[in-house]
Structure 1
Amino acid sequence: MLETKIFHTNEIKEAAEKIREGECVSFPTETVYGLGADALNETAVSKVYQAKGRPSDNPLIVHVSSKAEVAKYAKTVPAVAEKLMSAFWPGPLTLIFQVKEDVFAPTVTAGLNSVAMRMPNNEATLQLIKEAGTPLVGPSANTSGKPSPTTAEHVYHDLKGNIAGILDDGETGVGLESTVLDITDPSRPAILRPGGVSKEALEQVIGTVYVDAHLVSADEVPKAPGMKYKHYSPEEPVVIVDGDDKVWEEAIAFYQHKGEKIGLLANEDRIARLQSDDLIPFSLGKEGNIEMAAHRLFAGLRYFETTNATLILAEAFPEKGLGIAYMNRLKKAAGAHFFGE
């Protein structure tokens, strides 16, 4: 078992040395913590899959430290990509390019002829990539299928003893992973995973953007991470509640009658109205604040694993703007299970 060291931001050179040695080091981004390894080193990349318990048919996002690096690895960099990188990099937007042959470790692309790349908006991680001298794969630094980590402590909880280190730069900002946009056909850019950059924001820069909403089956190779049917799941079952306080009261009564100890994942105003001694609350922030709810979703799902909750009732949000990404993650955590359906 490895000793997992917590690296602080004044120890980036030491963390980069571990990367160059072929080890895995978790790094912070503006979205969630990623699990970094040298994207050009097959042995190093295989350690990512081993640490996460991740199926090797799931491609990995490659993190770069500059827009110029993309041309080293993509077959072409279309004009639409240039516009998007200028507008949103560094930031929570992943772009899928046609990939040059034999540049990345084979498991990075999961056998596909495309690769996902992004430039994270975190100065410590950009320095880490530059210091390591190589692009880094960076799936979320959690046990595969569990809620993504938004703090170094979350990473340590899941992966201690399985990775060489964690670069700690505090809590992440957005809290949901990046938007994944497929531009392998530049005439038809398509969102494969909603995230921190909305469809509307993308369309302001490049015009019409399509949405590929299908979830891949167990035997299908996904083109991007996060396209499986169930994902981001805590230990406890999750049920989505979409409705007013009366609906919430019905849901609480229904599951308490079944003997469940209920975790309440909802806005602070609703919690104040519904709270009783036999409920375990976690606040998503002020009522209607989707930015805060998105920021706190994964932390909330993880919180209940430290309690005696046996079931989580989680608040739905309207599917517009960032709410699309929030509901995408919540539906996967819940297996699309809504109360009353």
Structure 2
Amino acid sequence: MTNLLDASSSGLQTAARILREGGLVAFGTETVYGLGGDATQPKTVARIFEAKNRPRFNPLISHFADAQAAFTQVVANPLAHKLADTFWPGPLTLILPRAPHSTVSDLAADGLPTLAVRVPKGETVQALLKLVQRPIAAPSANRSGRISPSDAAHVLEELDGRIDAVLDSGPCQVGVESTVLDISNPERPTLLRPGGITLEALQAVCGTIFMPETEVDAAPASPGRLLSHYAPHLPVRLNATDVAPDEALLAFGNTQPSEAAISWNLSESGNLEEAAARLFTGLRTLDKQGQSHHLRGIAVQPIPQHGLGLAIQDRLNRAAAPRPALPPEDLPA
């Protein structure tokens, strides 16, 4: 049974003790709920992979209370300091060379010469990280490849009985994961994953931002790069301008097809921030209701490709990608 903790002083102290002792605690950030474990303890990191059914070739982000703590684990260049001053705490993950004295386990870094580090925003997560005073590896708190959780109830739906505790800090404000920027070569900053910090905001600091030439589905150099990810059980159809009677509809804006049996509007006003915050809850709701109504899929209306629209579209592309075979316990009932 997983213990549900509130964000009181007592709850924070309990969560910090569990983490220091090698346990697993899910906690809310400004992006989504993360499944946290001490990144310096290989056995704990292995438990994260086991709880999530996560491929072991997918590296993890290490979370810290501040930039000073994060930069003890990596070799931080001047661009890293500039980005940290601008965006931390906040939804930006930086990929940097691992420091020779880094205490983060090889398993958390997937044996790579680089490390993913981030300083999350939020009163509760900041208080927790300051209490623990260790790097905390924390992928999204869901079964691998499934829809990321944006509140504590979502975590319990997926991981109850598989982890030690959930620290409930309420719904997440941003609703999509952090932006991942590789600056291990500061002359070529590369956007590996769109997220809560927009491309336009990064360009204002970095100038030119490079994009990977191809996606990979083998051994990602960064978290969140698997082709099939964030996937509901029902198949997802993108850029839909109509909807079949046996499809649920993930809508955006104030015009939508009227034939949908079930619909969820990300933002009737067309606000991309609202849409990002509601994305994973919408996918989860339509998936659950669609299965109960024996629908065959989820149709998604087009999303504007600017600002947070890039991050939303990235998650939808991965949700719609061909899925690998699921473990038996992850198959829909």
Per-residue deviation at 1:213?
A: 5.1
Provide the secondary structure at the position in 1 that maps to 2:232: coil
Q: 1:332 aligns with which of 308, 318, 322?
A: 318
Query: 1:287-326 alignment to 2 at 5 Å?
Result: 287-307=269-289, 308=293, 309-326=295-312
Range with bigger deviation, 11-20 or 283-292: 283-292
| Greater Rg by CA | 1
Range with bigger deviation, 51-60 or 204-213: 204-213
Structure 1 residue runs of 4 or more that deviate by more than 6 Å after TM superposition: none
Q: Distance in 2 between matches of 1:312 and 1:25?
A: 32
For residue 149 of structure 1, what is the aligned residue in structure 2? 149
Per-residue deviation at 1:270?
A: 2.9
More helix by share: 1
Q: What percentage of aligned pairs have identical amino acids? A: 40
For residue 280 of structure 1, what is the aligned residue in structure 2? 262
Amino acid at match of 2:235: P
Amino acid at match of 1:291: E
Q: Distance in 1 between matches of 2:280 and 2:71?
A: 34
How far does the alpha carbon of each residue in 1:139-173 deviate from its partner, in whole angstroms, 9 at most, with x for none? 00000000110010000000000000111011101
Range with bigger deviation, 278-287 or 56-65: 278-287
Q: Distance in 1 between matches of 2:286 and 2:71?
A: 44
Q: Distance in 2 between matches of 1:334 and 1:29?
A: 26
Per-residue deviation at 1:268?
A: 5.9
Provide the secondary structure at the position in 2 that maps to 1:44: helix
For residue 267 of structure 1, what is the aligned residue in structure 2? 252
Range with bigger deviation, 284-293 or 167-176: 284-293
How far does the alpha carbon of each residue in 1:233-256 deviate from its partner, in whole angstroms, 9 at most, with x for none? 0010110134xxxx31xx42xxx4
Q: Distance in 2 between matches of 1:268 and 1:201?
A: 24
Equivalent residues of 1:4, 1:163 under 8 A apart: yes
Query: May I ask how many residue pairs the two structures share in their alignment?
Result: 316
Query: 1:184-333 alignment to 2 at 5 Å?
Result: 184-212=184-212, 214-218=214-218, 221-242=219-240, 247-248=241-242, 251-252=243-244, 256=245, 261-267=246-252, 269-271=254-256, 274-275=257-258, 279-307=261-289, 308=293, 309-333=295-319
For residue 48 of structure 1, what is the aligned residue in structure 2? 48
Query: 1:63-212 alignment to 2 at 5 Å?
Result: 63-74=63-74, 76-101=75-100, 103-212=103-212
Amino acid at match of 2:258: Q
Provide the secondary structure at the position in 2 that maps to 1:115: strand
How large is the Cα RMSD of the aligned pairs?
1.6
Q: Distance in 1 between matches of 2:207 and 2:254?
A: 38
How far does the alpha carbon of each residue in 1:192-231 deviate from its partner, in whole angstroms, 9 at most, with x for none? 001111121112122222122521133xx21111211111
Q: Distance in 2 between matches of 1:235 and 1:335?
A: 12
> Which stretches in structure 2 are left out of the alignment for 5+ residues?
324-333
Q: 1:336 to 1:327 in 2, by over 3 A?
A: farther
> Which stretches in structure 1 are left out of the alignment for 5+ residues?
none
Equivalent residues of 1:96, 1:114 under 8 A apart: yes
For residue 28 of structure 1, what is the aligned residue in structure 2? 28
Relative to the length of structure 2, the TM-score reads 0.91
Provide the secondary structure at the position in 1 that maps to 2:173: coil
Q: Distance in 2 between matches of 1:310 and 1:171?
A: 29
Range with bigger deviation, 148-157 or 129-138: 129-138
Amino acid at match of 2:23: E
Range with bigger deviation, 208-217 or 226-235: 208-217
